[in-house]
Chain A
Amino acid sequence: AIRMTQSPSSFSASTGDRVTITCRASQGISSYLAWYQQKPGKAPNLLIYAASTLQSGVPSRFSGSASGTDFTLTISYLQSEDFATYYCQQYYIYPLTFGGGTKVEIK
């Protein structure tokens, strides 16, 4: 199975900060990489797919990029509603796998 390694697992930030979350795939997955946001008690929400394509309705402060097997989610200007847990996921091959998650907390 492809292992998705996310980092960091958690961190604290302030509103207005620029934040970056990284996800590394254990083997090539082309651009079949998605990012999800999950808030407590809520279902996950698709933010980015195909590594860098913004899902409809998602604010433009979210962006994704890729370099080989390394993928990055960037939030350019952190808002209060962005404090949540973020997951990467590869949908290149079965079994589909998620990263371990990154919890973004208020500093």
Chain B
Amino acid sequence: EVQLLESGGGLVQPGGSLRLSCAASGFTFSNYAMSWVRLAPGKGLEWVSAISGTGGSTYYADSVKGRFTISRDNSRNTLYLQMNSLRAEDTALYYCAKGGADHTPFDYWGQGTLVSVSS
């Protein structure tokens, strides 16, 4: 059974940093691209970033480019999102999702971790 478990969310001041993690199990992690998708209060889903299975290719939404960094540790079956220079508009529930590269949809999702950016 595929499982994705996010962690690392919390309350942070504007300009601050957080690192999200997503522990994966139930599939061969290194064979699949992974993504982060967020849901802001009162808004719709927004794709944030994706990374190829090897980690050699990364992709970002314009809204986070230059501030967020996606990475993965295939030996630990873990996906990361380093978030710097956080803004109020980054407040959202952040989901880890399997897929998002090489023309693949998001076929499995975690339950999300909440990031709140406020002073």
Interface centre among B35, B45, B95, B105 (most CB of A within 10 A): B105
With A91-B100, A94-B59 in contact, is A43–B107 under 8 Å at CB?
no
What residue in chain B is nearest A1 (Cβ atoms)? B62
Q: Which of B43-95 contact A (CB under 8 A)?
A: 44-47, 50, 59-62, 95
Q: Are B45 and A46 in contact (CB under 8 A)?
A: no
Range for the number of chain B residues in contact with chain A:
20 to 34
Is residue B106 within 8 Å, beta carbon to beta carbon, of the partner chain? yes
Bound-state CA distance A7–B100 (Å) is 24
Q: Are A46 and B105 in contact (CB under 8 A)?
A: yes
Is residue B9 within 8 Å, beta carbon to beta carbon, of the partner chain? no
Interface string of B100-112 (1 = CB under 8 A from A): 1001111111111
Q: Are A43 and B46 in contact (CB under 8 A)?
A: no
Bound-state CA distance A96–B45 (Å) is 11
Residues of chain A with a CB closer than 8 A to B107's CB:
46, 49, 55
Q: How far is the CB of B15 from chain A (nearest CB, A)?
A: 25
With A44-B95, A44-B109 in contact, is A92–B103 under 8 Å at CB?
yes
With A43-B111, A44-B95, A91-B100 in contact, is A97–B105 under 8 Å at CB?
no
A interface, over-half SS: loop
Q: Nearest 3 CB-CB pairs, A to B?
A: A34-B105, A43-B109, A96-B47
30 contacts between A and B (CB under 8 A): A1-B62, A32-B103, A36-B45, A42-B111, A43-B95, A43-B109, A44-B109, A45-B109, A46-B105, A46-B106, A46-B107, A46-B108, A55-B107, A87-B44, A89-B47, A91-B99, A91-B100, A91-B104, A94-B50, A95-B59, A95-B60, A95-B61, A95-B62, A96-B47, A96-B50, A97-B47, A98-B44, A98-B47, A100-B44, A101-B45
- Tell me the A residues contacting B by CB distance below 8 Å: 1, 32, 34, 36, 38, 42-46, 49, 55, 87, 89, 91-92, 94-101
11 additional contacts (CB under 8 A) given A34-B106, A43-B109: A43-B95, A44-B106, A45-B109, A87-B44, A89-B106, A92-B103, A94-B50, A95-B47, A96-B35, A97-B47, A98-B47
